[in-house]
Amino acid sequence: MSTADREIQNVVLVHGAFADGSGWRGVYENLTSRGYRVTVVQNPLTSLADDVAATRRVLDRQDGPTVLVGHSWGGTVITEAGVHPKVAGLVYVSALVPDVGETSAQQYEGFAPTPEFVIDVVEGYGHLAPDTFKAGFAADTSDADAAFLRDSQVPVNMAVFATPVQHAAWRDKPSWAVIATEDRAFDQAMLHHMAKRSNATVTTVPASHALFMTQPGVVSDVIVTAARSALGGGV
């Protein structure tokens, strides 16, 4: 099927905390090779408002309906930014899915702790502890890739997790969720609870929290499904 035959051609990718947009390289290459126009947001990770503004600036540049994709903290960002009129569908990649008035931190309440996902905080900014980084974030990467991710971390202002969202785009737009079954950042029950509440179509894959980088084929296939289905065109 050519790009001209698809209802949606545009995809915007939003990374999570402790990372930058370069982890989307595999997804970017997969989708662009299939004819999609893909743009990667670079979140400053300084506040929810700042990350939403960065995402909206990218959405403003799209030339038509868009699938908006978020990994981890990026799920909160797309929940807020996804009310943008160009967004037709949402894809949550092992991502947070808060509702209106909720914070990201509240999503953890009532679910099992994740002891391998350790955040060190200095002057209000958090980064993942180096000794547990691979186990907690990127267990299915090579040692070299895990080391690079660890050493190129982007610290996040921890206040973002206490900021309530004002909009929940998933209440009005179709959503899909890719859940990593070996995720050590979020409890599996938490991920499935959020996906069910948002009425997301769920795909599971054996992967770590870094599935946005380690499972580009699976993630891309779900994005393609969203691109072909979000406007009611079917798969």
Could you give all domains of the chain from N- to C-terminal order, each with its CATH number?
A: 3-229 (3.40.50.1820)
Judged by DSSP in three states, 76 sits in: helix
Better-predicted residue by pLDDT, 5 or 86: 86
pLDDT at 5: 52
Tokens representing 91 are 């894809």
pLDDT tens by residue, 104-136: 999 999 999 999 999 999 999 999 999 999 999
Give the percent of the chain with pLDDT over 90. Answer: 95
pLDDT tens by residue, 1-11: 444 455 899 99
Report the C-alpha gap between 229 and 44 in whole angstroms: 31
Could you tell me which residues come within 8 angstroms of residue 226 by beta carbon, excluding any fewer than 6 positions away?
8, 67, 89, 90, 91, 174, 176
pLDDT tens by residue, 19-68: 999 999 999 999 999 999 999 999 999 999 999 999 999 999 999 999 99
Can you say how many angstroms the Cα of residue 101 is from the centroid of all Cα atoms in its chain? 20
Mean pLDDT over all residues of the chain?
96
Q: Using the 8-state DSSP alphabet, how is residue 208 labeled? A: -
